[in-house]
Amino acid sequence: MTARTDRLAALERIARDRILILDGAMGTQIQDLKLDEAGYRGQRFADWATLIKGNNDILNLSAPAAVKAIHHAYFDAGADIAETNTFSSTSIAQADYRMQDLAPEIAREGARLAREAADEQETSTGAPKGVAGAIGPTNKTLSISPQVNDPGFREVDFDQVRLSYAEQARAMADHVDFFLVETIFDTLNAKAAIKALMDLRTEEGVDRPIMLSGTITDRSGRTLSGQTATAFWYSVRHARPWAIGLNCALGADELRPYIAELSRVVDTRILAYPNAGLPNDMGEYDETPEQTAAHLGEWARSGLVNILGGCCGTTPAHIRAIAEAASGAPPHQPARRERAMHLAGLEPFELSA
């Protein structure tokens, strides 16, 4: 057995006994570094032709020590699993900075840094530490036209998105335990990612458990492309995810009903990592670690979740408080449902025998 196989088996054993803890926001920690343009560029990109401040993923190449330190801070706070700093490490997303040709290297180094931090934590604590390869939604959507006067227009097609995701996943594969397709606002983009990961599994033997996390964009209870939480699940359940859930856009208070909805219908583990409340007028997050943990502790005691973490605005202090609040709570028991045909457009449809 490989070290990865042993680690996954250990995490699965732990998940049967308690709630696993995911890390918190990478972007929030990077913002706290207060890097200027030169800080993003480092030596390697000092003469790059375009501005790159805000390209958090490039720090995997220009400031790797800072990225690795963030991973360590989250592990020290109690995280069992760290996400790689690769949310935008696709050729599609990196094209904004004219760095599309660097996307595989950015993804590979992001995964390597997280793996190094996880391995060092395993050595020092004796506890398994997982790495989830973060695969973001890209900055292009397959379901919605960016041109209001041309609803049929798309900037990319399905195969372009699929190939971009495959390139990213292939680059990360040697260093990650999971692939986490996250912040899914467009289910068709997620399907492109799922197709890429399943092709890698069957054609190249790259077999990593898949986690999926959608985004309910507002109190309508729908993703940006219009699906309810249950319809989203029906659309992606063929991927047989190791865990599925929701992240971003909403704070815990607003997200709870949709996590509860998934917990009633999903037959695998439930994942949740909300924002630290809703942003204030300045775009900042005011919810304290204690406030976030109070919400998520209630979710844990109610048996809604298997994996808890934090998204925008959360910090190592939030993750420490969440871990403490979830301690001793029973993990969610996946739903058992009668055999039926499940279909979905914007709404779910179930046809029982």
User: How distant is the alpha carbon of residue 197 from its chain centre?
Assistant: 15
The response to whether 7 counts as a known ligand-binding position is no
Task: Please name the helix (run of DSSP H) or strand (run of DSSP E) that holds residue 350, with its range, or none.
Answer: strand 348-352
Determine whether the annotation assigns residue 311 to a binding site.
yes
DSSP track, 18-79: S-EEB---HHHHHHHTT--HHHHHTTTTTT-SS--TT-GGGHHHH-HHHHHHHHHHHHHTT-
Q: Can you tell me whether residue 250 is helix, strand or coil? A: strand
Q: Which residues, in sequence order, are bridge partners of residue 243? A: 211, 269
Select from 209, 141, 201, 205 the least CA-distant residue to 179: 209
Q: Say how far apart CA 256 and CA 65 lie, in whole Å.
A: 36
Contact 274, 251 (CB under 8 A): yes
Residue 267: Cβ within 10 Å count: 12
Q: Which of 233, 180, 167, 173 is nearest to 210 (CA)?
A: 180
Residue 312 in marked binding region: yes
d(CA 55, CA 106): 11
Residue ranges for the known binding site are 248, 311-312
Please give the annotated binding residues for Zn(2+), written as ranges.
Answer: 248, 311-312
